[in-house]
Structure 1
Amino acid sequence: MSVPGAGESVAAEVRRIKVWFRFVPREGWLPHDREGLWAVQVGPDTARIENVPFLQDGVACGDIVRFTTDADGVHWAVGQVASSGGCTIRVLPVPDGPLGRSAAAVHERLAEFGLGGEAFSEEFPLVAFDVPVGADLRAIKALLVRGQGEGWWHFEEGSVTEAWRGV
């Protein structure tokens, strides 16, 4: 008896790659001019971003980007193909504020929203958050503004949607 599809892979192989972005470093900020983001290749020259960018603006987790591959096999982003509809928000605690230099304290303050995110380093406790479609944008933005006003942190919008701008 033969089994339909026997010998075929049940799920397509996931190809994880790193896609690199180039940018001009900002004065007074980290001195980097590129950032590599993990992605899943979805086409010959396209990939879905799988982590939150710390430095690159205009990109959010889940976005589909187009890339070229250089002679060394490095994948360089050349543009966005599709937006995930999510946002990238970065939060840096004020060192002498009530949260100190604690990325964990920043995560705690925003825990009620269930946002994914990661910290840059212990020395530079910048937290990059993925704000997915369907998140309570009004409440998240209100807390970010309140926290900045009360000296907890500074925040920036790395990649936002019209829905975010509208609240």
Structure 2
Amino acid sequence: MSSPVGPQRPPREADQIKVWFRLVPREDRLVPYETEGLWATRLGPDTARVDNVPFLRDGVAEGETVRFRTDGDGVHWAAGRVRDSGNCTVRVLPLPDGPLGPDVRAVHERLAGFGLTGEVFSADFPLVALTVPGGADLRGVKALLARGRDEGWWHFEVSCVTEAWRGA
């Protein structure tokens, strides 16, 4: 099953394209998609900078430069990373029966002090995909994520990390 997962806003500029990523099969994947499309700004004939946070694709963060190949139908397929952004990607799913309920605003409020930005998958599936900037208080972000997990606020996964994240 394929899906146009990702923000469905129209491109803002002529150089903005959708780059498609194939998903690595995972038994624990909560949604059954095989691809994810991310908005990106074209930087060259076969490179683009990712402009939004991925909900499903592991190993990619907002701001990274990727190489792509364009198929015969004009679809741009990611072919590898050219340059890291220094950002990390974290996904948070609030627990419906936890103290926050399925309230994505409550998730954002708790993490906003760290300068994290993100998007929500849907009202029916309140998965929050967050970009953690490289200059953020990574130790503090990790501590709050763990606290939220331990206190039953949410489940979370870190899907794209940096050396700074690992060392925090």
| Shorter-chain TM-score above 0.5 | yes
**Residue 112 of structure 1, CA deviation:** 1.1
User: What is the CA deviation profile of residues 41-89 of structure 1, one whole-angstrom value per residue up to 9, with x for unaligned ones?
Assistant: 0011000000000000000000000000000100000100000011000
4+ aligned runs moved over 4 Å, structure 1: none
Q: Secondary structure at the match of 1:133?
A: coil
Give the count of matched residue pairs: 155
User: Considering only aligned residues, what root-mean-square deviation do their CA atoms show, in Å?
Assistant: 1.1
**Alpha-carbon distance in 2 for matches of 1:139, 1:22:** 32
Q: Secondary structure at the match of 2:111?
A: helix
> For residue 16 of structure 1, what is the aligned residue in structure 2?
16
| Contact 1:25 1:31 (C-alpha < 8 Å) held by counterparts | no
**Residue 14 of structure 1, CA deviation:** 5.5
> For residue 7 of structure 2, what is the aligned residue in structure 1?
none
CA 1:85/1:14 → structure 2, altered by over 3 Å: closer, same or farther? farther
Correspondence list, 1:96-115, <5 A: 96-115=97-116
**Alpha-carbon distance in 2 for matches of 1:134, 1:141:** 14
Structure 1 length-normalised TM = 0.90
**Alpha-carbon distance in 1 for matches of 2:110, 2:14:** 34
**Residue 26 of structure 1, CA deviation:** 2.5
**Alpha-carbon distance in 2 for matches of 1:132, 1:41:** 22
| Contact 2:117 2:130 (C-alpha < 8 Å) held by counterparts | yes
**Alpha-carbon distance in 2 for matches of 1:98, 1:17:** 39
Q: Secondary structure at the match of 1:139?
A: helix
Q: Secondary structure at the match of 2:140?
A: helix
Correspondence list, 1:145-160, <5 A: 145-160=146-161
**Residue 25 of structure 1, CA deviation:** 3.7
Q: Secondary structure at the match of 1:43?
A: coil
What amino acid is aligned across from residue 142 of structure 1 in structure 2?
A
**Alpha-carbon distance in 1 for matches of 2:154, 2:167:** 22
Greater shift, 22-31 or 52-61, is seen at: 22-31
